[in-house]
Amino acid sequence: MNRFFEVVRRDLRLALRQGSDSVMVVTFFVLTVVLFPFGIGPEANVLERVSAGVLMVTALLASMLSLDRLFQADYEDGSLELLVLTPAPLGMVVAAKMLAHWLTTGLPLMAAAPVLAVLLHMHEDGFLTLLAAMALGTPVLSLVGGIGAALVLGARRGGVLLSLLILPLYVPVLIFGVGAIDAAVQGMSAKPHLLILAAMLAAALVLAPWASAAALRQALE
């Protein structure tokens, strides 16, 4: 367990000292969301209707754009090989890196989301559910995205390829996340949607580090 937190600390330290990564993700999130009122017009009722979808889709894209720094830099400078060689199980190291990724992307996105929800005139009944859906959904994005990031190591045009691999797998998170917020805004219970999101998180928590570790082993073979 010590080794787990050691890897988390290392990744967090790298992310914070190199500075701009988290800020860039949030900036991308804010800028893209702000584009929508220009694109579809500033009418409050239209924006309110699409707010849940816009927030979840842009959060998903922002999270995906930051995936390459999960393994790519470590792969290029060789430290990934050292991490694989540590006596700790590789799945645990990978899970630690995914946790660090979520802390530096998912968490800032969650912090920014309510402010943007105000800008999009989201109904205030949806705010709590928005936070809950993002708290359950963004870790799934980091976990599942980690598999893709490990698979494309060393590939040609890895960035575009990553989106092709990962976006289809992100769709369920999007469907149930938006479903939860819409249900809450319309005065229905958001619980079933949130429970399914939680189930996806539970499954991804167990399976994704394992699959990602398998992919890393292939990449470093």
Partner 1 sequence: MHRFANPARFLRLAKVILPWSNAVAALCLGAGLYFALLGSPADYQQGESVRIMYVHVPSAWMGMFCYVAMAVFSAMALIWKHPLADLLAKATAPVGAAFTFLCLLTGSLWGKPMWGTWWAWDARLTSMLILLFLYFGYMALVNAFDDPERGHKAAAILALVGAVNVPVIKWSVDWWNTLHQPASVVKMGGPAIDSSMLVPLLLMAVGFKAYWISILILRGRAEIAAQKVRIIRMAQIHAAAQGE
Q: Is 159 in the site for partner 1 (CB under 8 A)?
A: no
Q: Is 50 in the site for partner 1 (CB under 8 A)?
A: no
CA distance 55 to 47: 11
Q: Which of 167, 198, 204, 202 is nearest to 180 (CA)?
A: 198
Q: Is 188 in the site for partner 1 (CB under 8 A)?
A: no
Which CB sits closer to partner 1, 17 or 157?
Answer: 157
Q: Under rule CB under 8 A, which residues in 130-149 are in contact with partner 1?
A: 147
Q: Which of 103, 131, 158, 205 binds partner 1 (CB under 8 A)?
A: 158
Segment near partner 1 (CB under 8 A), from 2-10, 77-85, 166-174, 187-195?
166-174
Q: Is 165 in the site for partner 1 (CB under 8 A)?
A: yes
Neighbouring CB atoms inside 10 A of 99's CB total 21
Which CB sits closer to partner 1, 15 or 95?
Answer: 95
CA distance 98 to 213: 11
Q: Are 120 and 112 in contact (CB under 8 A)?
A: no
Q: Is 128 in the site for partner 1 (CB under 8 A)?
A: no
Q: Is 221 in the site for partner 1 (CB under 8 A)?
A: yes
Q: Which of 54, 67, 151, 183 binds partner 1 (CB under 8 A)?
A: 151
Measure CA 180 to chain center. 18
Q: Are 109 and 29 in contact (CB under 8 A)?
A: yes
Instruction: Map residues 189-218 to x or -, x wherever contact with partner 1 holds by CB under 8 A.
Output: ----------------------x--xx--x
The distance of closest approach from Cβ of residue 61 to partner 1 in the complex, given in angstroms and rounded to an integer, is 16
The distance of closest approach from Cβ of residue 167 to partner 1 in the complex, given in angstroms and rounded to an integer, is 7
Q: Which residue has the tokens 């805004």?
A: 185
Q: Which residue has the tokens 């694109």?
A: 39
Task: Show the DSSP H helices in the chain as ranges.
Answer: 2-17, 21-40, 44-65, 68-77, 79-85, 90-101, 107-119, 126-151, 158-185, 191-220
DSSP category for residue 210: H
Which residue ranges make up the site for partner 1 (CB under 8 A)?
A: 147, 151-152, 154-158, 161, 164-165, 167-169, 171, 211, 214-215, 218-219, 221
